[in-house]
Amino acid sequence: MTIEAGQSLAGQPTTARQAGARRPLGELGRAALGRAGRAALLATGRPPVPDALEPLVRVHRRHHPQADLGLLARAYRLAEASHRGQKRKSGEPYITHPLAVTMILAQLGAGTTTLVASLLHDTVEDTDLTLDQVGAGFGPEVAYLVDGVTKLEKVDFGAAAEAETFRKMLVATGDDVRVMVIKLADRLHNMRTIRHMKPASQVRIAKVTRDVLIPLAERLGIQVLKAELEDIVFATLHPEEHARTRALMAGHEAEPDTLLEPFARQLARQLAETGVAAEVTVRPRHCVSLHRVLLERAAAPGPDGRPQGPQPADFGRLLVVVEENADCYAVLGELHTCWTPLPGEFKDFVAAPKFNLYQSLHTAVALEGRAVVEVLVRTRRMHEVAETGVVALGDPTPAGTAQDADELDRTDPARPGWLSRLLEWQQETPDPDAFWSALTADLAGDREITVVTETGETLQLRAGASCVDAAYLLGEETGHRCIGARVNGRLTALSTVLQDGDVLAVLTENLPAGGSQPSGPSPEWLAHARTPAARLAIERWLADHPARLPVVRTGPAGGQPAPPAHRAGERRAAPVTVAGRPGAPVRLARCCTPVPPDEVAGYPIRGGAVAVHRTSCPAGQRLRADGRAELEVRWRPEGAPAAGHRVTLLAEALNRPRLLADLTAAISGEGVGIVSAEVEPPQELRVRHTYTVELPEPGTLPALMRAMLKVSGVYDVSRPHAPEGARPRHSGGNGGDRPAPGVRPSWGIHDRSTAFTGHRGPGDSRGSAPQPHSDQRTE
């Protein structure tokens, strides 16, 4: 039902593609043309066409009044002569199949060249006609389309014939999208007559249609074709559920519409009063669409806590077709002013079209009686593209002019972004089984999302893609060097699933000095990769770079001076002097590992020893609060502990492969020995390394911390204290204070005496996500 509101829309007739209710692409009967139509056709002076082509010509001229009918007639005569004597499984002459496929394409509005190729699409495969003969008679463009949809022989490819045929069609589609349009129309007619196949063949063909061809129809935006394919597949694979859904639809159609039609008339009157020219249409749902709504109803409990049954508004939606883009928003304003909009139901695909060029405003409003009605608002052109997708955009750019086109223009039907990505990874998958698995997995996501990088680049990804997929979409080298990601300004794990509209920054490591290979991905990334391109790149890297265990160096690097050795039995001078207690044993606290020139204080502990803490250490402050006398302590100019100056350092980093090896190499490169190393389990993306090192000289500490901070992925290096609230353990054996068991050292408490360029202060590490070091950059 169509209700006009306001002034007429430029007097343009509503075609079959522009009608509100989606009708099956059925053939027109010859009686519909009539003798008057044939006489009018012959009166044009054009050469006569065969009678079998008259319904096709009538539909085609509606969209292309200047079509070359002589070319169509020649193609039909050649196809009819080539297929003469062949029968379909239904018993009909074989020529009925190419005629039906061509009629589907004509109803979609395809051009004459596409229709000619459709009439001939099975001749090379099933008759003695050769591709060279097709090219000689109709040109290389038609020959290319026919070759693109021609199946490969099972004799040559065996069980891989179907997968390789689809690979061939996809490659041909990359150059001319009409190849896939013809294939989809061919499959639609075959599905209409699938009842003549054996049951096993019906199931096999329906599953391939569901897994591959329906997603391709969705991505090409051909909704009328996709909807009918979905319904036939539903009836083939789930006949009982299909029958129940059809019965509900029939029952609803038999009753008067007391909700949608009255609301359509009310909306049309409201728009007419405001001067908005529009057509308001009640648009029934097709079988699969209604079945999905019913499943959602059954899964959501109603006010009484029980599953909800079908509601009158579930059987259809309102479609409002206007003239200009601005009118779309005028209609939206009237809807939201006169009725109550539902929060979260508004989607603007006009300003941000879908990946398949679909544009509409979607909203839902609540009527009296708590009924909720969905409303779609679009222009005539948007409606045409929404129904027929790339077919509505016309033939691809002629050869020789493509170089002048904008490379980022997503309206070119011959160059959709998803197809370009699919063609890239299929080249890396020579195995037919692997290609088929990757193809079905890639097409399984029935929608795509748009992610924007912080530099303004737009990325189109399948729904469910992670930061790993986005990194490899930016380039294989960027993916291999990825060490982290920032989503909407917050540091996040690489496994994070991206949402539509997210703002992303991919953090990468610098290439190692003196080499050209990054550390590369880890095997765990495969669990987070959703796109075939990312998975193939990761698998290829892992195959070329076998896993190697990191080597932890526990002494000075080669060529570096070692700490001075001391003879056994040699008495070492105490590292500090304690005022008032000459000769007292001194223990340097392990919680804060003081080294010259730290400001330190001493506190008496058991056994007459003195524990030396940094003055800023919370453990020492608690000792003082408990009544321990604070002793004045000074560093000896030449004193050193028996085991050398030991320091504990915390390195906080973005987790990545080879991080431990790179950090230990940086420490050893400064001539520092590692006494112990501890790596805590990663928390999402972040990891903390704790190192106890032995310094050859106290003055080497700032240089060591700078070297650690330069390692890719490390964003903070600090010296720990005992955490606030932890009770120190006093040990006579070592005289130090250690955090209580299970208490983590506090993050971001830095020693002021070791400040240096690039080392952030305490406030930078608390209360917000850590920021990457300047050695990392954003791709």
User: Looking up tokens 């522009």, which residue turns up?
Assistant: 18
For residue 97, what are its two tokens? Answer: 């199949």
Among 146, 162, 245, 151, smallest CA distance to 207 is for 162
Contact assessment for residue 391 and residue 109, using Cβ atoms and an 8 Å cutoff: yes
Contact assessment for residue 288 and residue 230, using Cβ atoms and an 8 Å cutoff: yes
CA 541 from centroid of its chain's CA atoms: 22
User: Looking up tokens 């006010």, which residue turns up?
Assistant: 303
Q: For residue 314, give the DSSP letter.
A: G
Residues 267 and 338: their CA atoms lie apart, in Å, by 9
HEC assignment per residue over 235-254: HHHCHHHHHHHHHHHHHHHH
Q: For residue 730, give the DSSP letter.
A: P
User: Which amino acid type is present at position 724?
Assistant: E
What is the H or E stretch that residue 444 is in? Answer: helix 432-444
Residues 664 and 52: their CA atoms lie apart, in Å, by 81
Contact assessment for residue 236 and residue 194, using Cβ atoms and an 8 Å cutoff: yes
Cross-strand pairs, 648: 692
Examine the residue annotation and report whether 126 is marked as an active-site residue of this protein: yes
The upper half-sphere exposure of residue 128, i.e. CA atoms within 13 Å in the direction of its Cβ, equals 4
For residue 249, what are its two tokens? Answer: 């639809």
The residue count for the chain: 779
Catalytic residue among 4, 54, 68, 126: 126
Residues 706 and 759: their CA atoms lie apart, in Å, by 8
3-state SS class at 643: coil
Cross-strand pairs, 341: 365
Longest CA–CA span in the chain (Å) reads 125
DSSP secondary structure, 58-88, as one string: HHHHHH-TT--HHHHHHHHHHHHHHHTT-B-
Among 762, 646, 754, 758, smallest CA distance to 702 is for 754
**Strands 686-695 and 673-679, bridge-based pairing:** antiparallel
Residues 584 and 68: their CA atoms lie apart, in Å, by 109
Contact assessment for residue 28 and residue 58, using Cβ atoms and an 8 Å cutoff: yes
Catalytic residue among 27, 125, 348, 477: 125
Among 119, 82, 127, 126, smallest CA distance to 98 is for 119
User: Which amino acid type is present at position 420?
Assistant: S
For residue 37, what are its two tokens? Answer: 């139509």
For residue 16, what are its two tokens? Answer: 């079959």
For the chain, how big is the Rg over CA atoms in Å?
37
Among 52, 38, 148, smallest CA distance to 100 is for 52
Among 38, 106, 44, smallest CA distance to 72 is for 106
Determine phi and psi for 520, rounding to 5 degrees.
85, 170
3-state SS class at 646: strand
Among 390, 361, 410, smallest CA distance to 223 is for 390
Examine the residue annotation and report whether 27 is marked as an active-site residue of this protein: no
Residues 589 and 591: their CA atoms lie apart, in Å, by 6
Which residues fall within 8 angstroms of residue 194, CB to CB, at 6 or more apart? 202, 205, 206, 232, 236
Tell me the catalytic residues: 125-126
